[in-house]
Chain A
């Protein structure tokens, strides 16, 4: 299965236990979306509010993947947090733009810029 999720609790800083960086690689589709959902559910259970999702290594995303991203947006909005998307390549950017989803998320070219945009607490 060509899809992985790597989770960094605290997004590189132990002072922000409410943040998670999720680094996705490979193909996010009908068959693999449940693994991303599982990682998100674990983050919610640990009271994460801000999700930095790095898509730099994502080579494919279908509407099942879009559904998971929209679900994450809804879940963290309910706890006054946010989803920050990083590194949309041209293919992912196209599907996000076609579906109108691009407007629903804050997007950043690099992980560094997304992390700098996280709130202080």
Chain B
């Protein structure tokens, strides 16, 4: 994807999710997100990156860009295990211990979609800079 001119940022996914949260939080904050909507985006990115650590052998990276309407963050993996239906994950309820990451991303962000290309798959998260949600 050509993200030139849209203030792109790139971070590799490592075990240090705290570091990633601070990088993404700083970036989205500079782009104009604040408060709960900023925290929600950061948590959603954390969930997607944790899934890469758990299910995609930790092989992935995060790409972010923004314009005057949206902050967009893509969490890429190199195994390509995600399919578009994953974006519609349902609430597992409190009876299931795990597997709520993708569902939670949908609660936290304005848009969640799955994209695929020849290098793998990715979760794309978008948070509007101004629109009121709910």
Q: Are B94 and A104 within 8 A (Cβ)?
A: yes
CB distance from B35 to the nearest CB of A (A): 11
Q: Say if the beta carbon of B5 comes within 8 Å of chain A.
A: no
CB distance from B112 to the nearest CB of A (A): 14
Q: How many residues of A contact B (CB 8 A)?
A: 23
Residue of B50, B94, B97 with most partner-chain A CB within 10 A? B94
Q: Are A31 and B15 within 8 A (Cβ)?
A: yes
Q: Which chain B residues border A27 with CB–CB below 8 Å?
A: 18
Nearest B residue to A27 via CB reads B18
Q: Could you name 17 residue pairs across A and B whose Cβ atoms are closer than 8 Å?
A: A2-B18, A29-B50, A30-B46, A30-B50, A31-B15, A31-B17, A60-B18, A62-B43, A62-B46, A63-B98, A64-B50, A70-B96, A70-B97, A71-B97, A91-B39, A94-B36, A99-B104
Quick one: CB contact mask for A43-76 with B, threshold 8 Å, 1 for yes?
Answer: 0000000000000000010111011001100100
B contact set with A: CB distance below 8 Å: 15-18, 21, 36, 39, 43, 46-47, 50, 53-54, 91, 93-94, 96-98, 100-101, 104, 107-108
Main secondary structure of the interface of B (DSSP, over half): helix
Given that A67-B98, A100-B93 are known contacts, is A31 also in contact with B16, CB under 8 Å in the complex? Answer: yes
Bound Cα distance from A60 to B45, whole angstroms:
13
Bound Cα distance from A70 to B96, whole angstroms:
8
Q: Are A60 and B21 within 8 A (Cβ)?
A: yes
Q: Say if the beta carbon of A112 comes within 8 Å of chain B.
A: no
Given that A74-B97, A99-B104 are known contacts, is A63 also in contact with B18, CB under 8 Å in the complex? Answer: no
